[in-house]
A and B are shown apart, each in its own frame.
Chain A
Amino acid sequence: DIQMTQSPSTLSASVGDRVTITCRASQSISSWLAWYQQKPGKAPKLLIYKASSLESGVPSRFSGSGSGTEFTLTISSLQPDDFATYYCQQYNSYPVTFGQGTKVEIK
């Protein structure tokens, strides 16, 4: 299985901050990476697919980059609604696997 490792595990930030989350794959996954946002008691919500493509309806302050084994999710200006847990997921090969999550907390 391909292992996905996110960093940091927890991130404290303020409204308006630029936030970056990193995801590393244990082997190359080309650009087959997605990012999700999950709030407590809710299902994950797709934000980014194919590493950098913004899902319809997702605010443009979210962006993704990377290829191969290293990827980033950036929130350009953190908004109150963005405090949540973020997961990366590879879908280069089965079984698809997720990172362990990054919790974005209010500083």
Chain B
Amino acid sequence: QVQLQESGPGLVKPSQTLSLTCTVSGGSISSGGYYWSWIRQHPGKGLEWIGYIYYSGSTYYNPSLKSRVTISVDTSKNQFSLKLSSVTAADTAVYYCARSQLVVAFDIWGQGTMVTVSS
């Protein structure tokens, strides 16, 4: 059973870079056929897709965040990571990593990690 687990700092200062890692267990990122995404949810609000990466390293980002987002993959560690630069209070949210297939949408999610942007 594939499981995802987010990790990273829960507090980031304004203007700094938010960095999170998602560790995949129970399956290999390199097996192909799946897209690995980051999704966030502002407190009490809906869901916003940030971007995805394929095991080959190809990425696609939400245009609304594209200038500040980098998603990378480390197949040797079975992890993928999110970097969001120049954060402000508006980036305070619960960040989820999730797996999708082209047909099935997001079928497996991490538990989520709360990130607060504050000085």
Contacts and interface: CB of A to CB of B under 8 A. Distances in A.
Chain A partners chain B = yes
Interface of A: 1, 34, 36, 42-46, 49-50, 55, 87, 89, 91, 94-101
Nearest to B62: A95
A34 B105 contact: yes
Contacts of A100: 46
What is the size category of the interface that chain B forms with chain A? 20 to 34
B43 to A, nearest CB: 12
Given A43-B96, A95-B64, A34 B106 contact: yes
A89 B112 CA distance: 18
Interface in B60-98: 60, 62-64, 96, 98
B100 A55 contact: no
B109 interface: yes
B96 A46 contact: no
B49 interface: yes
A44 B106 contact: yes
Given A43-B96, A91-B100, A98 B109 contact: no
Contacts, number: 53
B103 A87 contact: no
A contact face: mostly helix, strand, loop, or mixed? loop
B contact face: mostly helix, strand, loop, or mixed? strand
A43 B112 contact: yes
Contacts of B48: 98
Interface-centre pick from A36, A43, A45, A94 (highest chain B CB count, 10 A): A43
Interface-centre pick from A46, A49, A95, A100 (highest chain B CB count, 10 A): A95
A49 B111 contact: no
Given A43-B96, A44-B109, A95-B63, A49 B104 contact: yes
Contacts of B46: 87, 98-101
A43 B110 contact: yes
Contacts of A89: 47, 105-106
A46 B105 contact: yes
A101 B107 CA distance: 18
A100 B48 CA distance: 10
A44 B64 CA distance: 22
